[in-house]
Amino acid sequence: MKHFKNKISFLLLLIVVFSASIRLSFLAKYPSSLYSDEIDQGYNAYSILQTAKDEHGVFLPASLRSFGDWKPPLPTYLMIPFIYIFGLNEVSVRLPSAILGIGTIILTYFLVRKLLRSNRVALLSAFFIAISPWHILQSRSAMLVMIALFFLELGIFLFVQSIKNPKLIIASFVSFGLSIYSYYGMRVITPLVLLMLIFFYRKNIRFFIKWFAFACFVGFLILLPLFKMFLKEPDVIFGRAKTVSVFYDQGVKLRQWELITQDGINSPPVISRFFHNNVYMYGRDILQRFLSHFDGRYLFFIGDKSPPFQIPNMGILYLADVVFIFAGLIMFLKSKFAEKYIVLSWFLLSFFPAALTFMTPSSNRTFNAVVPYMIFIAVGISLIYKLAYKRILLIGIITFVYSLSFGYFLRQYFYTLSVQHADFWNYGWREVVDYIQKTSDKYDQVVVADIGMPYIYFLFYGKYDPYKYQKEAIRAYVSDQYGFEHVEGFDKYVFVDNFTWNQLKNNLQPKTLYVVSGKETVDDDKCLKIINYPDGRNAYKIFAHE
């Protein structure tokens, strides 16, 4: 028995070391650049570290104002110690996600072992998360959802453990509270998961009702700063959810109008209302978006189409997973473990917030489903292993198939994405800032085309003093048609929307440096520097009127 336990621990250690090597190595280089959302958190963490205020001058904010949106603050606060130790750079920004990504792998092992009482399934679940393209992509970038998943999973684990050790219910509520501070979607998912757990363990909770009540009180205290901020600024709770919701999108309304028009003027209004009403049309749209997350093409073939969450030419899961997910799901539904309902509910609830938005299917908003998916795969493999006649052969085939799949993923992630699709991650701003910092002494002003919030790159890579920036920033706090708020300038930098070479070529100011998109045609004699993507395409062009 002791030998068996040591073997399990050794295998778990191997998985952790392997996952750490994948998640921690070359963090600064892959993905090829910090995305605007990542860099924004990084600079705000730096600002809070230096001044105890964010870039807007708000003291220890409970929600961070960011490009017209409100970002949950926990991921930013978690960056502070790393920035303090390693300085303001890509690694410090991405380390919290990478470390908690490894944490979810360990947590998954213990949670699955607890819920399904199987070391094999627990180890397999941990292993498949370790090699999951979806999980690796999110672990290596600071996109909030990794932090949120860790705290949600920790909350579930502690809740389940509290049945034996009631004091842990407090830690569970703390963890659920922290998940709410990590990602918007959790403001829908966490309460639903918590309600599901309370319903599931309602008979056990009666025996430690006092601890439970105290945990609720602690949870309330944790959320108090958020409520307080909500009173001042109602948008902090759901941020830009309004502008990404299905009700904001005009598609359904236009179709409704088209159908009512087709009904004709002779059609009684009651008929049009009966057939083309909002409840039916939006209800159908929401269900369609919910079910779009189970489309095989999205899962196994093309993945998420939104650039920062896209791995070229592959899905969010491996193609081989399709067999094991199917087998695992059937086996899971058949099994008599009551705890299976926890995993199934967790799985289904993960898709709720995404279904209410018009950008679907979305791998980012449904990231919480990664753990249940991997549990289904593990159960599927375990089932097929049990049924297999020649187990060694089966292990050989599975190892071969997954080695190939993982190798393909590594190629797509570390080569194709970084070299051929560096624009997905806003590559080039670092190089622009480096160049301008070296040459800007000669110029009085730097005018930058406002493509993808460049101001934050100048702040971050220039390590611009947050005290100074809070005083100097010129911003109107007016949203554009997409809900984004822009910074017009600070110091000698000016950020101009919709500005092209053609507009400016006859009106160039002296001692001024200009930055435009690489797609612009700039006269050769004026062009000082071209920043290229790794595949040779032009990313940005810098020019001046000497």
Partner 1 sequence: MRKILLFAFIVIFAIISRFLFIGKMPPLIDASLIFSRYVSAVLSVGSILLCYILIKHSFKRIKLALLSAFLMAVLPWTIEQGRIFSQVNNALFFCLLIIFFLEKINRRFYKIVLLLLIPAGLYFIYPQFWLFRLSQKMPNLADLLNNIFVLFSPDMLFFHNITFWWGGIKEFGIIYLSLSPFFLYGFYRLINSGRYKLFFLLVFILLISSLSPFFPESREFFFSVPILSFATAYGIIDSFDRNKKRKLVKLLIVFSLIFFFYEISQYFHYYTVHYGQEIIKNQSQIYEAF
Site for partner 1, residues 315 to 344, rule: CB under 8 A: 319, 330, 333-334
Candidates 263, 339, 423, 491; binder of partner 1 (CB under 8 A) is: 263
Report the residue from 280, 337, 341, 482 that binds partner 1 according to the rule CB under 8 A. 280
The candidate with the shortest Cα–Cα distance to 463, out of 11, 107, 39, 13, is 39
Beta carbon of residue 275, minimum distance to partner 1 (angstroms, whole number):
5
* Helical spans, DSSP H, in 412-500: 429-439, 454-461, 466-472
Position among 267, 278, 502, 503 found at the interface with partner 1 (CB under 8 A): 267
Q: Is 230 helix (H, G, I), strand (E, B) or coil?
A: helix
222-261 residues in contact with partner 1 (CB under 8 A) are: 259
Return the number of other C-beta atoms located less than 10 Å from residue 423's C-beta: 17
Question: Shortest Cβ distance from residue 270 to partner 1 (Å)?
Answer: 12
Among 221, 224, 287, 474, binds partner 1 (CB under 8 A): 287
Nearer to partner 1, 288 or 502 (CB): 288
Q: Which residues ranging from 92 to 151 are in contact with partner 1 (CB under 8 A)?
A: none
**Closest approach of Cβ 424 to partner 1, in Å?**
22
Pairing status of strand 69-71 against strand 485-490: unpaired
Q: Segment near partner 1 (CB under 8 A), from 55-63, 183-191, 281-289, 420-428?
A: 281-289
Query: Is 296 or 407 the residue whose CB approaches partner 1 more closely?
Result: 296
Contact pick of 295, 339, 431, 485 for partner 1 (by CB under 8 A): 295
Q: What is the 3 state secondary structure string of 351-394?
A: CHHHHCECCCCCCCCCHHHHHHHHHHHHHHHHHHHHHCCCHHHH
Q: How far apart are CA 444 and CA 318, in angstroms?
A: 53
E strands within 46-142? 64-66, 69-71
CB of 334 to partner 1, least distance (A): 6
Q: What order do you get walking across the sheet with 512-517 strand by strand?
A: 474-479, 485-490, 493-496, 445-449, 512-517, 538-544, 527-532
> Side chain identity at 438, as an amino acid letter?
K
- Candidate residues 10, 84, 248, 294; the one interacting with partner 1 per rule CB under 8 A: 294
Return the residue of 275, 337, 415, 482 that touches partner 1, per CB under 8 A: 275
Element at 540 (helix H, strand E): strand 538-544
- Find the shortest distance in angstroms from Cβ 293 to partner 1: 9
Q: Which is nearer to partner 1, 262 or 503 (CB)?
A: 262
Window of 236-244, 280-288, 366-374, 465-473 that interacts with partner 1 by CB under 8 A: 280-288
- Give the nearest distance from C-beta 283 to partner 1 in angstroms: 9
Q: How far apart are CA 271 and CA 208, in angstroms?
A: 56
Within 455-537, strands assigned E span 474-479, 485-490, 493-496, 512-517, 527-532
Q: How far is CA 213 from CA 159, 173, 216, in A?
A: 14, 11, 5
Q: Residue 126: is it exposed, middle or buried by C-beta count within 10 angstroms (0-12/13-18/19+)?
A: buried
Tokens representing 456 are 């934050």
Selected binder of partner 1 within 165, 288, 403, 503 (CB under 8 A): 288
Binders of partner 1: how many residues, by CB under 8 A? 23
Please choose, out of 113-121, 291-299, 371-379, 407-415, the segment that lies near partner 1 by the rule CB under 8 A: 291-299
Report how far residue 277's alpha carbon sits from residue 298's, in angstroms, rounded to the nearest whole number: 30
Neighbours of 187 (CB within 10 A): 20
Kindly tell me which of 188 and 319 has the beta carbon lying closer to partner 1: 319
Residue whose CB is less far from partner 1, 35 or 300:
300
User: What's the min distance (Å) between Cβ of 302 and partner 1?
Assistant: 8
φ, ψ at 231 (rounded to 5°):
-65, -35
Task: Report which of 32, 37, 55 is spatially closest to residue 453, judged by C-alpha positions.
Answer: 37
Closest to partner 1 by CB, 258 or 497: 258
CB of 316 to partner 1, least distance (A): 13
CB of 300 to partner 1, least distance (A): 7
Q: Which residue lies nearer to partner 1 by CB, 20 or 322?
A: 322
Q: State which amino acid sits at residue 130.
A: A
Token reading at 239: 């941020």
Do residues 391 and 381 touch, judged by C-beta distance below 8 A?
Answer: no
The yes or no reply on residue 191 touching partner 1 (CB under 8 A) is no
Which of 133/489 has CB closer to partner 1? 133
- Residue 284 interacts with partner 1 (CB under 8 A)? yes
Q: Which residues pair with 357 in a beta bridge?
A: 245
Q: Residues, the chain, total?
A: 546
- The answer to whether the beta carbons of residues 83 and 340 sit under 8 Å apart is no
Could you tell me the smallest distance in angstroms from the CB atom of residue 489 to partner 1? 46
Applying the rule CB under 8 A, the residues between 299 and 318 that interact with partner 1 are 300-301
| CB closer to partner 1, 334 vs 336 | 334
Q: How far is the CB of 291 from partner 1 (least distance, A)?
A: 4
- The pair of structure tokens assigned to 432 is 């622009």
Residues near partner 1 (CB under 8 A) are: 259, 262-264, 267, 271, 275, 280, 284, 287-288, 291-292, 294-297, 300-301, 319, 330, 333-334
